[in-house]
Amino acid sequence: MLVNRVERGRYLDSVALMRVSRRLEAQAGVEAAALMIGSPSNKALLREAGLLAPEGENATANDLVIAVRGPQARTASETALALLSEKVESAAPGMQTSRTLRGALELLPQANLALISIPGEFAAYEARRALERGLHVLLFSDNVSLDDELALKRLAAQKKLLLMGPDCGTAIIGGTPLAFANVVPRGDIGIVSASGTGLQEVSSLIARMGGGISHGIGVGGRDLDARIGALGTLAALDALENDPATSRIVLISKPPAPEVAKKVVERVKRIAKPSVVCFLGLDQPGIAPTLRDAAEQAMGKSLENETLRVGKNRGLVRGLYCGGTLCTEAEIIFRRKGLTGHQFIDLGADEYTRGRPHPMIEPEIRNDHVRRALSDPSVAVVLVDVVLGHGAHDNPAGVLARNELNRKTVVASVTGTEQDPQVWSRQAALLRAAGVLVAPSNAHAAELAASVIS
């Protein structure tokens, strides 16, 4: 049975909707469930998942679609309404809230930054409104077209403002963590990053080496695409060059388009402040090969690394990642060592998260994959990341430890700091107690996993 219930004129945060979806899917008699705003892109996802009925097809972008498939679909759809009606504290006590940009600016007229997290169909319009009001913008939303991104970044450049994103998941502005970010000390190192987890990894490693961050500016994963031409990156470099609190700069990205890479490297060379460039996968002199190397070069010291004893084993490595850039970094390290045939899966990719929370929010999504890897006789090593910070699950190591991790060699890294809500040392201790080898960085973890099978 497939049931679609449409709640007209109802909008709720996507994370809240995903959590209700997970609770429904855990119920007996429910094969699949999803709660989504009825935008065209969301309806396409529901249709592809076999969850869109005629009632849902008629939903608009102002409506909420409750879609359930299974013998108990009708009962579960009623349960969804009850779950959505549960009182949730959406703001800290005493915090003023508003439903519009105009209302928010009336409450906080001194604000100079807007964080936008709404369906992609509407995100560009709201970002333009914020820029026209003289606000810097962090555009968390994805599904924004390249044409809109280019237009927004050109407008931001005209107004001498920062447009961070689209799909900017992490930033640290003036010591304030935004979206998925870690609690790191204020310091003199500025970071420009086209990768959210890359920014998290580098800023956390710098913090654990005793350093601090002036600003961590995310620019969105497509900023160094040939069409966009690094407009966000160049604006962020200008801002950090002129910032008196920043004395060193780190630039992080996957390999950009060749002509964009040349433009960005030439711009970095003109900055008087010491700078480190990390284009993952780009093997050129002067380019930091890993996120760990970028953090160490910025600090002028090496990250402490205890020697972990591990026996040799024949077989494959299965990398199961929450952070896409961390997954890419591990894969690159194996490729540089000439190790082939191993599997690295980014469980935060669209194909795994359609209608479901990102694994950094709900790491239970990874456990099915972990159990399969532990049971696979061809797999010798399971390689995982654990990402902490604001927005992440409150106990990701505890969720991972529900598996029988001592059945195989399991190697992990923990991206985070002691000041994070989850506390880095506590998460590492939980993993060690479960028999996991905990490396000090994602790069160290990949190298350790490679050493087992090579």
Strands 186-193 and 213-218: parallel
pLDDT in tens, 59-83: 998 899 999 999 999 999 999 999 9
Query: How many structural domains comprise the chain?
Result: 3
Using DSSP, state whether 441 is helix, strand or coil: coil
pLDDT band at 311 (very low <50, low <70, confident <90, very high): confident
pLDDT band at 87 (very low <50, low <70, confident <90, very high): low
Distance separating alpha carbons of residues 289 and 267, to the nearest angstrom: 20
Q: How crowded is residue 16: how many other Cβ atoms within 10 Å of its Cβ?
A: 16
Q: How far apart are CA 225 and CA 229, in angstroms?
A: 6
Residues 369-390: tens digit of each pLDDT? 999 999 999 999 999 999 999 9
DSSP letters along 367-383, please? HHHHHHHHH-TTEEEEE
- Same domain, yes or no, for 415 and 339? yes
Last residue in a domain, options 247, 272, 299 = 299
Q: Give the pairing of strands 32-37 and 64-69.
A: antiparallel
pLDDT over 70 (residue 283): yes
Which of 303, 257, 259, 255 lies closest to 277, judged by CA? 255
Q: What is the distance in angstroms between the CA of the first residue and the CA of the last residue of the chain?
A: 51
Report the candidate in 181, 403, 441, 204 with the shortest Cα–Cα distance to residue 326.
441
With 80 as the cut, is the pLDDT of residue 108 above it? yes
User: Which tokens go with 183?
Assistant: 């609690």
Query: What is the token pair recorded at 66?
Result: 């409750």
Q: Which domain holds residue 21?
A: 2-85
Whether the CA torsion 7, 8, 9, 15 is positive or negative: it is: positive
Q: How far apart are CA 37 and CA 34, in angstroms?
A: 10
| Confidence grade of residue 18 (pLDDT, cut at 50, 70, 90) | confident
pLDDT tens-digit map of 420-431:
999 999 999 999
Q: What is the DSSP letter of 252?
A: E
Report the pLDDT value the prediction gives residue 357, as an integer from 0 to 100. 73
In a domain, 75, yes or no: yes
Strand partners, 344: 319
Is position 244 within any domain? Answer: yes
CB count, 10 Å around CB of 379? 19
| Same domain, yes or no: 342 and 389 | yes
On whether both 400 and 322 belong to a single domain, the answer is yes
User: Is 191 a residue whose pLDDT tops 90?
Assistant: yes
CATH number of the domain to which 290 belongs: 3.40.50.261
Distance of CA 262 to the CA centre of its chain: 27
Residue where a domain stops, chosen among 269, 299, 329: 299
Mean pLDDT value across the chain: 92
